[in-house]
Amino acid sequence: MKFILRITALTSFLFLAVSAHAGAISGKAPDFTLKSSSGKNLRLSDFRGQVVMINFWASWCGPCRQEMPILDQLYKRYGKLGFTLLGVNVEQDSSKANAYLKDVPVSFPILYDTSNGTSKLYDVNAMPTTILVDRNGNKRFIHHGYKPGYEKDYKKQIKQLIRE
Amino acid sequence: MRIFRYCIAVLSLLILQGVSQAAVLPDERVDALYHSYDGGDVQVTGPSVLVRKGISTNWSTSFNYYTDYITSASIDVIIGGSPYEEERTEQTLGFDYLRGKTTMNLSYTKSIENDYDADTISFGISQDFFGDLSTITMGYAEGSNLVGQRVSNNPKVFEDRASIDRKNYRVGFSQVITKNATLGFGWETITDEAASLNNSGVTLNNPYRSYSFGIPGTSRSFAQEKYPKTRTSNAASLRANYFLPFKAAIHAEYRWFQDSWGIRSDNYGLSYVHPIGDWILDFRYRYYSQTKADFYRDMFDFADQFDFMARDKELSTYTSTSLGFSASYEFAKNGWGFIDKGSLNFSYDIITFDYKDWRNACESQCAGGTASPGLEPFYSFDAEVIQAFISIWY
Amino acid sequence: MRNMSLALCLASLVMTGCSSLEPWVKPYERANLADPIMNPARDAVSAGYLHHVYETRESARGAGTVSGGGCGCN
């Protein structure tokens, strides 16, 4: 009986906890320039006028790998409507990321933040972290982590920002 | 249980703090293992199958089916009776629940032998905090065991001898130290309380085991062991894991142990993990030493000399040293059909047990024995442990 | 009661005092920590079995990584 009481007490504490994996944010998206998978350097401010999704990911991160094909679908679907996606790989050694991308190719540009400067700039505090930037270069939405179903939020927010 | 209460308080507050990001549930995988232990004229083999499956984004369930087929002709068995064969089956059903940075698990284990039944229910909670650099864990388990004994020549007739209630209280703390190092601390208190059934006098002891008494050099006799009704033990462990610059890892472990029977033990473990291509190699070393229980003696002076008397080698003064090696081959690393990846594993351990005050009584009591009773050489033996298993992630 | 308040102090220190003490390993710096070889019990089925092998033959118990019921001793 005491055992059940203890469990109940702990569980009720748990349900009091507020879970907030996504939210609206504001402020200018800090600019950055990183080397991309095509070999060219890409700069965030060059995409001004488009809705940009920045996804910080790593090959060792399970949820990131799970999300990759879904992000590719989003890019293919909304790419022609003024939307772009930048996949920022946070690994210091990009060889594992490239091996992964060989097996699971994506069509959106991959950027290599090997020095973690951009990750620091965006205060990435979860893997993956996904940020949506509007046509004027402002940060609008942030997502920490990934679980199946987050793509519904992504779609809604992309559509909203494209319409603005 | 003061430490336990502290932890409940700290944990509750950490959970109330709110969460902003997620931990992850264990991987979905299935493992099929064959295991074999061979040492001291005891052979134990059998399968173990572990399946883990996600039910939803927040729930995961696991099921383990484990069997030991035991053939024993160990010294105690030869002296106290006759060699036997038996089977133990253990099944565990577990659920894990994830919410934000909190993981909870609840599991139920049922273990069945001809003459020993055990049911255990266990609850654990784990909370990440401080940028996920720190994790605090807590667990509580309650077990109820029913001890039986063969009462006739019919191997299927058993009588209940004792019931044992066990409670486990666990707390743990782990900390990321650098990008390459983690440290962990664990504490566990376990209490046992036994009640004799059918006036058997059996409490926490094995009903088939005997203590010995007599005059060294002259005679050695045996009588049923007498154990206390309760036992409380405390264990504290410290672990360090370090990732080496050339992509290998080192794990070091120390455990301190003490119980209310006067046993103190220490064990040290060191392992080295080295990946090469599709292979992962493991090398491990472990050293264990313990002091005897207060009521242990290889030979007492006369029958009923004390209230509690035992002669189990597990309660004597001894050391055990293990050397082990594993090789794991990973296949379908980037998926194949519904499989995410798989691995084939083989593992071998050799353990040397060296008893300091437990004599090989067979040398005087068994057929052909030539030693003087009570002056036999101290016992030691090697055991080989083999594991072969396949793992599939899906 | 004094013990309880001590625990509360400790907890609030952990919660608020951390503003001056920042987590020093960032999530994007966990490539090595996330590697399965950093988990000494990466194969639960094997770690659980080896734990059982020792626990049935040694008096020490607890503070390991796994736990379960039954004995299978003798």
Among residues of chain B, what percentage have pLDDT more than 70?
Answer: 94
Q: Which tokens sit at C56? A: 């049935």
Sequential DSSP letters for A75-101: HHHHGGGTEEEEEEE--SSTHHHHHHH
Q: CA B219, CA B207: separation in Å to the nearest integer?
A: 23
pLDDT digits (tens, 9 = 90+) for B204-219: 998 889 999 999 999 9
Residue C66, pLDDT score: 45
Q: What is the mean pLDDT of residues B56-73?
A: 93
Please state, as a whole number, how many other Cβ atoms lie within 10 Å of the Cβ of residue B190. 21
Q: What domains can be seen in chain B, in order of their start residue?
A: 2-393 (2.40.160)
Cβ neighbours of residue B182 under 8 Å, at least 6 residues apart?
Answer: B174, B175, B176, B240, B241, C33, C38
- Which tokens sit at B226? 């007498």
Residue A15 has pLDDT above 80, yes or no: no
pLDDT at B154: 73
User: Both tokens of residue B29?
Assistant: 């995988």
pLDDT of residue B229: 96
Tracing tokens 């106290």 back to the chain, one arrives at B80
Interface contact A144-B19, CB threshold 8 A: no
Domain-wise residue ranges, chain A: 21-163
SS3 C66: coil
Taking 80 as the threshold, does the pLDDT of residue B1 lie above it? no
- The widest CA-to-CA distance across chain A, in whole angstroms, is 66
For B377, counting Cβ atoms within 10 Å of its Cβ (0-12 exposed, 13-18 middle, 19+ buried), the class is exposed
C16 — pLDDT class (breaks 50, 70, 90) = very low
pLDDT (0 to 100) of residue B313: 94
* Enclosing H/E stretch for A150: helix A150-163
* One-letter amino acid for residue B123 of the chain: F
Residue contact B123–A144, C-beta within 8 A: no
B352 at the C interface (CB within 8 A)? no
**Cross-chain Cβ contact C31/A58 below 8 Å:** yes
Query: Are B44 and B74 a contacting pair, CB within 8 Å?
Result: no
Question: Please, what is the end-to-end C-alpha distance for chain A in angstroms?
Answer: 58
Q: Are B114 and C71 in contact (CB under 8 A)?
A: no
State how far the Cα of A145 lies from the Cα of A129, in Å rounded to an integer.
6
pLDDT digits (tens, 9 = 90+) for B221-274: 999 999 999 999 999 999 999 999 999 999 999 999 999 999 999 999 999 999
In angstroms, the separation between the Cα of residue C44 and the nearest Cα of chain A is 19
Q: Are strands A83-89 and A110-112 parallel, antiparallel or unpaired?
A: parallel
Average pLDDT, chain B: 91
Give the other-Cβ count within 10 Å of C12's Cβ: 12
pLDDT at C17 > cutoff 60? no
Residue C74 to residue C71: CA distance in whole angstroms: 9
CB contacts of B186 in chain C (<8 Å) are: 63-64
For domain A21-163, give the CATH number.
Answer: 3.40.30.10
Please, which pLDDT band fits residue A3 given cuts at 50, 70 and 90?
low
pTM of model > 0.80: yes
Q: Which of A68, C50, C18 is nearest to B267 (CA)?
A: C50
Does residue A61 carry a catalytic annotation? Answer: yes
Burial zone of B47 (CB within 10 Å; 0-12 exposed, 13-18 middle, 19+ buried): middle
| Global ipTM | 0.92
pLDDT of amino acid B12:
62
Q: What residue of A is the nearest CA neighbor of C28?
A: A90
